[in-house]
A and B are shown apart, each in its own frame.
Chain A
Amino acid sequence: MTLLRAEGLHKVFGAVAAIQDLSFTVSPGTVHSIIGPNGAGKTTLFNLITGLYQPTEGRIYFEDNDITAQPPHVLARHGLSRTFQNLQIFLNMTALDNVMVGYHLQCDSRFLPSLLRFPSVTRRDAEYRERAAELMAFVGLKDYVKADASAMPYGALKRLEIARALAVQPKMLLLDEPAAGLNPAETLAIDALIQKVADRGLTVVLVEHDMRLVWAVSNRILVLNYGRKLAEGTGPEVRANPEVVAAYLGEGGRDL
């Protein structure tokens, strides 16, 4: 059974074909990486899968349900969650509240009960506040539980976004360049976090440029170039592919 299936995806912006004729599948319980040069269409693909863009042509299926062109908040209910290449943290809220928004679908968010402060609302909130603190500890942010998001350093915010994405209790987590802007030590820590997440059985789809991270965590790799699929396979298969080497990895890439 495939968790995610894309068929014949096309995405055109004006005169630019960002994605062309792309088809691939993601199996449950795997870590699937998407790599390729800048402009290859990786983030566009993410945006298509998570409902931020509508494909010009093609279909996307999640657990055999057609999710093409469904809005992001509906996809969250299906079990899709993601982080962003350019951090999209709620800087006007505390770190804990950021994670609480991730729990939005779990909390009692009905209008009238919230307005009148029904016990069901406050009880759920209290319960999930504890869970949010635990989640923050899980991603290594125990020290920031009482912090404002605006006071946190970049590396911590990258983790906070992952915590928020995990709070959605997804079946599939999409991480868009989780190690971007991080130094080698921080990147290793993210690597460990992704492994931890994957060990819990969560399917992870990753866009990354840091090849060390990619080889370390991935079960399967999809290589994009100019919006098209260049190669797909396991780490060793992809590394050995001469087209991939030429387009992206370079000669030195094979030795990483």
Chain B
Amino acid sequence: MLAEFLQFLFSGVTVGATYALVGLGFSIIYNSSHVINFAQGEFVMIAGMSTVSLLALGLPMPIAILIAVMITTAVGLLLEKLAVEPARDASIVTLIIITIGASIFLRGAAEVIWGRDFHSVPPFTTNDPILVGGAALLPQTVWIVLATLVIIAGLWWFFNRTLTGKAMLATAYNPMVSRLMGINTKFILSLSFGLAAMLGGTAGILIAPISLTYPSVGVMLGLKGFCAAILGGLGNPMGAIAGGLIVGVSEAMTAGYISSAYKDAVAFIIILAVLIVIPSGLFGARGTERV
């Protein structure tokens, strides 16, 4: 009984941390530009696939994952420069289509580079599960949780203690005034994409050893990460993390106790239920429009 529950909990936290990191990326980009980056899931995919190639080249694991994250970050910065910046003042729907186009483009590029096959990545440490309360805890899960905690701490420090981080928050509140105060909002926008790509990439290298990686793996991940971000209230980084974990654990519990066929639907059922009752998400900003 307990073993079963713990098993589902572990797998839920594992995948939930991925959703959390992807959702975090959504929130950070949204915060600095009000753009929803539908290519967020692709950052996860690129890091995973790059790791496969780099390992195949013979590079040791730590170097491979570092370079993979760097590659992903670079892709994020390029995406911002080439696709988002030229269309800064376009409507919401147009921007959505642009980032969806970018997502398709990146998936197409991945298919060209790596083909359509599924690839696997060895785990950071051994594959021997640790027994906790009768349930098998994969060491990789421990890595994922640790890494996520470090990232959360790092981001908190960045946003609250560094000038750049605060500048990013300022740009989110009021881009025009931020510019007048001397904040380089273009740089902030690039930074936010780079940061989001880095987060997505990190999620990618963390999850790749557990699930297989292939060019379309980012699609559902991106959509569920979006769910996580909205659940926690768009623009609320901590909310996105909470949202990701809620989605991940709910998914695992549903798959375990109710039906695994509708596993993928869980995230969206939750988000619909929440949005209908609380239109601004669980922890989103509630305001009144001034007329």
Q: Residues of A at under 8 Å CB distance from B? A: 13, 43, 47, 52-53, 84-86, 88
Contacts and interface: CB of A to CB of B under 8 A. Distances in A.
B288 A85 contact: no
Q: How large is the interface on B (under 10, 10 to 19, 20 to 34, 35 or more residues)?
A: under 10
Interface in B235-291: 288, 290-291
A86 B288 contact: no
Interface of B: 288, 290-291
A interface: dominant SS: loop
A88 B291 contact: yes
Contacts of A85: 291
B288 A43 contact: no
A21 to B, nearest CB: 21
A91 to B, nearest CB: 13
Nearest to A50: B291
A171 B291 CA distance: 22
Nearest to A52: B291
A52 B288 CA distance: 10
B288 A13 contact: yes
Given A13-B288, A47-B291, A85-B291, 7 more contacts: A43-B291, A52-B291, A53-B288, A84-B291, A86-B290, A86-B291, A88-B291
Contacts of A86: 290-291
Contacts, number: 10
Contacts of A84: 291
A179 B288 CA distance: 25
A147 B290 CA distance: 28
Nearest to A85: B291
A86 B288 CA distance: 15
Contacts of B288: 13, 53
Nearest to B291: A84
Contacts of B291: 43, 47, 52, 84-86, 88
Contacts of A52: 291
Contacts of B290: 86
A242 B155 CA distance: 56
A53 B290 CA distance: 11
Nearest to A86: B291
B176 to A, nearest CB: 16
B44 to A, nearest CB: 38
A205 B291 CA distance: 17
B251 to A, nearest CB: 36
A88 B115 CA distance: 53
Nearest to B288: A13
A47 B291 CA distance: 8
Nearest to A47: B291
B56 to A, nearest CB: 54
Contacts of A43: 291
A151 B189 CA distance: 31
A13 B290 CA distance: 12
Nearest to B286: A14
A84 B291 CA distance: 7
A133 to B, nearest CB: 28
A129 B105 CA distance: 48
A6 B231 CA distance: 40
A43 B288 CA distance: 13
B291 to A, nearest CB: 6
10 contacts: A13-B288, A43-B291, A47-B291, A52-B291, A53-B288, A84-B291, A85-B291, A86-B290, A86-B291, A88-B291
Contacts of A13: 288
- List the 9 closest A-B pairs by CB distance, nearest first: A84-B291, A52-B291, A86-B291, A47-B291, A88-B291, A13-B288, A85-B291, A43-B291, A86-B290
Contacts of A47: 291
A141 B274 CA distance: 48
A31 B291 CA distance: 23
A84 to B, nearest CB: 6
Nearest to B289: A52
A34 B288 CA distance: 23
Nearest to B290: A86
A153 B291 CA distance: 20
A99 B198 CA distance: 51
